[in-house]
Amino acid sequence: MACTITRRTPLAPAVAFAALTDLAEHTEHVPLTDVEVPDRGLSLGAEVIAWTRLGPIAVADRMLVTALEPGHRLRLVKTGRFLHGWADITVRPDPQRPGGSSIVWAEELWLPGLKTLTRPIGDRLAAVLFARVVDGVLARAAA
């Protein structure tokens, strides 16, 4: 079972999607982490790397863009040695708020070779961490 974060915002879908997929902006909301996005931006097959650093120790969270529907959906699959899983970000027009957006961010995280044991922990941690990211980037976009 993945963690799922749902939000509704008065932001237009294109604005909300742009905010949520500005992966470099995520670094403002995830401590000790920097995100590298290819110079060409997000495209199918592009690799994104989130580096988490604590002093001299650095861990790379490597992700591939496996689905991209600009303005609507982004799917990242984690391919690194340390973390596996995926994230799926979907933005749709909000039928209850004309001009606004409905957002679903679903994510699964686990350690390779220990999926059954670590995925429940990853789901709980992801729910806290990515709710903070979603709320932060949407608030910044609205400001």
- Domain range for 60 is 3-142
pLDDT tens digits along 20-55: 999 888 888 888 889 999 999 999 999 999 998 888
Q: Render pLDDT for 89-140 as a digit per residue (tens, 0 to 9).
A: 999 999 999 999 999 999 988 887 877 877 778 788 888 888 999 999 999 9
Cα separation, 76 vs 59, in Å, equals: 18
Q: What is the pTM of this model?
A: 0.90
CATH code, 61: 3.30.530.20
Range with top average pLDDT, 2-6, 7-11, 32-36: 7-11
Place of tokens 């932060």: 136
Q: How many domains does the chain have?
A: 1
Residue 7, classed as helix, strand or coil, is strand
